[in-house]
Structure formats: C-alpha cells, structure tokens
Amino acid sequence: MRTEELISPASGKILRFDADRNLLTIFMHLHNVHLTVAPLDGVVTRITPEKGTFRPAFVRSADFNTKNTIELSTAFGDVRVVQIAGFFTRKILCNVQVGQQVQQGERLGKICFGSRVDITVPEGFALLVTEGARVRCGQTPLAHKKTT
C-alpha cells in the first residue's frame, strides 16, 4: 500500500462528499463486511463514543445516531473515522486505544450490521471516488496526496 493514498476504512457505497467539511460518507449494506481500518498510518489521539438514535444509516438524520469517533494524527494531518450505528445496529466495537500507533489497513473496529462510516479527507488530497462508487475496506484508494 502507498501511504500517500487514503484507503477506504470500510466496504460499501459512497453516499456523498461534503466539500465544506472534507467529509466522505460510506454506507455499509447488511451484506458488506463491517470492519473499519486505518486509512493512513498514524497515532490514535482521541476516541469519542456518543449515544444517539438508531435511524437508517443512509439518511442524513443518521448524523445523530450512536457513533464512535476515532481521531488519528497522520503525517498528512488529522483524520477522523466515525463509526455510525444504523437501524439494526446496537453495537460498535473499538479495537484501538488512545496513544496506539496504527498502520494503514490495520483494524480499528467493527460495526454490527448495516451502518455508515464517515471519514475526513486531509487538506491537500484529491478525491479518486465519486458518489455511488463501491469501495472495499483496506483496498480501495479514496484520495491521493496532490503533487505540487
């Protein structure tokens, strides 16, 4: 893997990209593998679990669902991977701890059943995917470092 590529932290379908927040949303269908992995090498700086609702993960109101935010400090800037519970989901597993060094593709956790993952794209990265694209956990490059 090339560390100048931001890889997909989850398998699923790209729902949207919010350019104002550099936020990419991936919907995981019931049939997808629900693991989440580190999109870049980095250090876990913060883990923030939040209780919330359990709305279908593909609707915008799912922003208020139960979630777990894993913040990584990387060579390219801070990246947040947000594990968001869906309608059927009641459990989010986190396999990392604050201060832990993670390698690109290393397991961060798991969300049980259909759910969503939001990821911030660092400044200076160009998107390689579009809305509707299918992505694979730890394999599909989502963005790459722009060359100057």
Domain 5-145: top CATH class: mainly beta
R_g of the chain, CA atoms, integer Å: 14
Question: Do strands 125-127 and 77-84 pair parallel, antiparallel, or not at all (unpaired)?
Answer: unpaired
Q: What is the pLDDT of residues 63-72, one digit of tens each?
A: 889 999 999 9
The pTM of this model reads 0.89
Question: What confidence category does residue 1 fall into, taking pLDDT thresholds of 50, 70 and 90?
Answer: very low
Domain extent listing, the chain: 5-145
Residue-wise pLDDT tens digits, 39-60: 999 999 999 999 998 888 888 8
Chain-centroid distance, C-alpha 46:
15
pLDDT at residue 43, as a whole number: 98
Q: Which residues are catalytic?
A: 115
State the pLDDT at residue 33: 72
- Contacts with 9 (C-beta within 8 Å, 6 or more apart), sequence order: 26, 36, 37, 38, 39, 81, 108, 117, 119, 137, 138
pLDDT digits (tens, 9 = 90+) for 112-139: 776 899 999 999 999 999 999 999 999 9
